[in-house]
Amino acid sequence: MSEKKYAIQDIQNIAASELLERVRKLKEDGYRLAQACAMNREYGQDLLYSFDKDHILLNLKVKVNEGEEVESITGEYWPAFIYENEMHDLFGIKFLHNALDYNGNFFVTAEPTPWNPKK
Amino acid sequence: MAVFKMAKVVLNRLFQKPATLMYPVVPREWTERTRGHIDIDVDQCIKCGICARKCPTNAITVDRDASTWEIQRMQCIQCGCCAEVCPKKCLSMAPEYTTPNTIKVVDKFDIPVKEKPAPKAAPADGAASGEDGLKCNAEECVYCGLCAKTCPVGAITVDRGEKKWEVDKDACVQCGACVDKCPKKCLSL
Amino acid sequence: MGKRTIIPFGPQHPVLPEPVHLDLVIEDEKVVEAIPSIGFIHRGLEKLVEKKEYPEMVYVIERICGICSFGHGWGYCAAAEGAMGVEIPDRAEFLRTIWHELSRVHSHLLWLGLLADGFGFESLFNHCWRVRETILDIFEETTGGRVIFSVCKVGGVRKDVDADTLKRIADTLENIKAEIKTLCDVFLEDVSVKNRLVGVGYLSKQDAIDLCTVGPMARASGINQDLRYNGHGKYLEVGFTPCVEEQGDCYARCKVRIDEIFESIGIIQRCIEAIPEGAIDVPVKGKFTGEFITRMEQPRGEAVYYAKAFDPGKETNYLERMRVRTPTNMNIPAMVKTLQGCDLADVPMLVLTIDPCISCTER
């Protein structure tokens, strides 16, 4: 068993509206949430969700326009509240129906959304 | 019911010498590779400035006009990056740590000014000089000669009249000083 | 129903090891609910990719945490090498595995010391840290630094270790095994320690799966999950067995980490026997290209590293985004779940049992 499982890069691009459906299916298939992060793009942000099963990662890249609201996945994976609050505090992405919403008080920063400054 | 399991360890250590050192009365012994502080051999330095560019914390400042090399001891993170990239290998890592102090220590060294070596006869090739190394974009170049003046080793020759730009690839240490100086931004490494 | 009070716990507290803040809702000495709050030491290190070129970024990433420092350096280098398509030599891979396993031994010894300090056993705490000094001396001899090694770089490692030193390391580790065993017997057998650990903070297997726990916290609840199976380093070549327990309480987590110390010493000795001769790095030049996501098994669990370059055509020497997801980040919900229903006196035990590393979590 010496295949390099870490070299398997499976990144799938999906739209923000399909996110919750895909996540529900992954939860049924037994995937575990590994991480969620955001990065700045010209049109807004790209969210990257990673799921793991049998030590292989499956990644979903979600395109989010500036100011668009995203469905929270805390209904399926409760630990996602940490990542969603962090993305909200640092980038300003709004999540709907977040199970544990800190309303911007998770990371207390000197200026709001420091990694996506409003010009 | 296991009780007093720790007693064995305590009794053993009671009759051994302590594990700690009476520092600073007893000095610490450093190993050969300990990354303590940076030393410079001023005779070899050519003031190219690669160390200042690569330093992750901007602890090194190289002043070419005043011919000094200074390092902020408290800013340095002892990574050894400068010692690795120095083309003349004049920087080295010594084991002793900087002594703790109440002020931020800055060490300044004077670099002795050396005669610039005469530029060697350039190879027959024109502006293009291969995949690796310094390249000049001939369309943008105005042959002002600033790069030749900035070069610490005199590797570049510029002839304004004949519109020639040449680099001696053996002398070039790829420090990037000319790249920064060029007003038309036509040089690249 | 008794009266409920809210007690704020942390970030400054004599027994708390890390600057995390918990709002504990107490009802007559039992904790009913716990709301975590972090963000006290957020440094925004991931944003420094805009200022530091990719070879220098490794010095920033390895300073995210002092205990897991080598793991972060290796993870960043692995992500950068994967993105640019660089194959590093075998000897470098073996050296990285040896240093990482030594990191795991020193991290678990540190945690055992903190656990002993958490329930008031000061002398055991100091003895665990005294044994850990031997490992730190090995680090200083081979890499030059006791805590931050600066020995990993994109393309390999920066320092080589000769065969004599490797043989000496293997012998030193064999000699301290007996000392570690005596200390671990105190943790596992002594009746006063067992009273504080057995039955405290129970996490069932289904809960551990739902809360996506990672690392020894998951392995103590019966989940066989060890990221060393995914092929990074030389773990599959030299062989290893993950340590899994079933009880799911603090005692099981302590036992998992103790077993991992001995397993790591075995891995290091096998690596030292199998290490080949050869180069220790390959030159890496040019702009940063590509996108790669990889994972490491750190002492605390699974860490995810994601490195992305700018779009094709606009590449520079800088990364566009670097993401580090550390294991404590994922274990905080599990900590919150185990805190429900525990005694107030057990709260420091439960916070320590996830092996928190808040400076990793907040970067």
3-state secondary structure C77-107: HHHHHHHHCCCCCHHHHHHHHHHHHHHHHHH
Sequence-separated (6 or more) residues with CB below 8 Å from residue C116: C122, C124, C125, C128, C187
The pair of structure tokens assigned to C72 is: 């972060």
Q: Which amino acid is at C148?
A: I
Alpha-carbon gap: C188 to the closest alpha carbon of chain A (Å):
31
The pair of structure tokens assigned to B112 is: 């002795």
Q: A46, A38 in Cβ contact below 8 A?
A: yes
Write down the mean pLDDT value for chain A: 83
H or E stretch at A47: strand A44-53
Strand order in the sheet with C4-9: C4-9, C21-27, C30-37
Query: B104 touching C, CB under 8 A?
Result: no
CB proximity under 8 Å: C 47-66 to A: 47
Sequence-separated (6 or more) residues with CB below 8 Å from residue B183: B142, B144, B146
Return the pLDDT at B132: 58
Q: Which residue has the tokens 């080589």?
A: C160
Q: Is the pLDDT of residue B127 over 60?
A: no
Instruction: Report the alpha-carbon distance of residue C228 to residue C240 in Å, rounded.
Output: 9
Q: A52, A34 in Cβ contact below 8 A?
A: yes
Higher pLDDT: C66 or B122? It is C66
Q: Is the peptide bond before C11 cis (omega within 30 degrees of 0)?
A: yes
The pair of structure tokens assigned to B36 is: 């303590």
Q: Which residues in A lie closer than 8 A to residue C78 (C-beta atoms)?
A: 6
Q: Which residue has the tokens 């590797």?
A: B155
The pair of structure tokens assigned to B20 is: 């700690």
The pair of structure tokens assigned to C251 is: 């005692």
Per the CB < 8 Å rule, is C145 touching B9?
no
Q: Nearest to residue A20, comparing CAs of A59, A63, A100, A76? A: A76
Comparing A12-16, B2-6, B115-119, C232-236, the range with the smallest average pLDDT is: B115-119
Alpha-carbon gap: B18 to the closest alpha carbon of chain C (Å):
10
Per the CB < 8 Å rule, is C150 touching B78?
yes
Q: C251, C194 in Cβ contact below 8 A?
A: yes
Percentage of chain B lying above the pLDDT 90 cut: 0
* Closest residue to C293, CB basis, from A39, A55, A57: A57
A11-69 pLDDT, tens digit per residue, is 888 888 888 888 888 888 888 888 888 888 888 888 889 888 888 888 888 888 888 88
Per the CB < 8 Å rule, is C140 touching B33?
yes
DSSP annotation of C51: T
Return the pLDDT at C104: 92
* Closest residue to C130, CB basis, from B8, B19, B79: B19
Per the CB < 8 Å rule, is C302 touching A9?
no
Return the pLDDT at C109: 92
Q: Which amino acid is at C327?
A: P
Return the pLDDT at B126: 40
Per the CB < 8 Å rule, is B35 touching C145?
yes
Instruction: Report the alpha-carbon distance of residue B73 to residue B77 in Å, rounded.
Output: 9
Return the pLDDT at A2: 46
* Closest residue to A33, CB basis, from C212, C237, C308: C212
Q: B157, B166 in Cβ contact below 8 A?
A: yes
Instruction: Report the alpha-carbon distance of residue B74 to residue B80 in Å, rounded.
Output: 15
* Closest residue to C304, CB basis, from A35, A55, A107: A35
Return the pLDDT at C102: 92
Return the pLDDT at A119: 55
CB proximity under 8 Å: C 107-146 to A: none
3-state secondary structure A51-119: EEECCEEEEEEEEEECCCEEECCCCCCCCHHHHHHHHHHHHCCEEECCCCCCCCCCCCCCCCCCCCCCC
A105-119 pLDDT, tens digit per residue, is 787 777 877 887 765
H or E stretch at C196: helix C191-197
Give this prediction's pTM.
0.87
Return the pLDDT at B121: 45
Per-residue pLDDT of chain C (363 residues; tens, 9 = 90+): 678 888 888 788 887 778 888 888 988 888 888 888 888 888 888 888 888 888 888 888 888 888 888 999 999 999 988 888 888 898 999 999 999 999 999 999 999 999 888 888 888 899 899 999 989 988 888 888 888 888 988 888 988 888 899 999 999 999 899 888 888 888 888 888 888 888 888 888 888 888 888 888 889 888 888 888 887 888 888 888 888 888 888 899 999 999 999 999 999 999 999 888 888 888 888 788 888 888 888 898 889 999 888 888 777 888 888 888 988 888 888 888 888 888 888 888 888 888 888 888 877
Q: C26, C32 in Cβ contact below 8 A?
A: yes
Optimal mutation site among B1, B3, B4, B5, interface C, most CBs of chain C within 10 A: B5
Mean pLDDT of B143-152: 76
Instruction: Report the alpha-carbon distance of residue C52 to residue C289 in Å, rounded.
Output: 16
The answer to whether the complex's ipTM is over 0.85 is yes
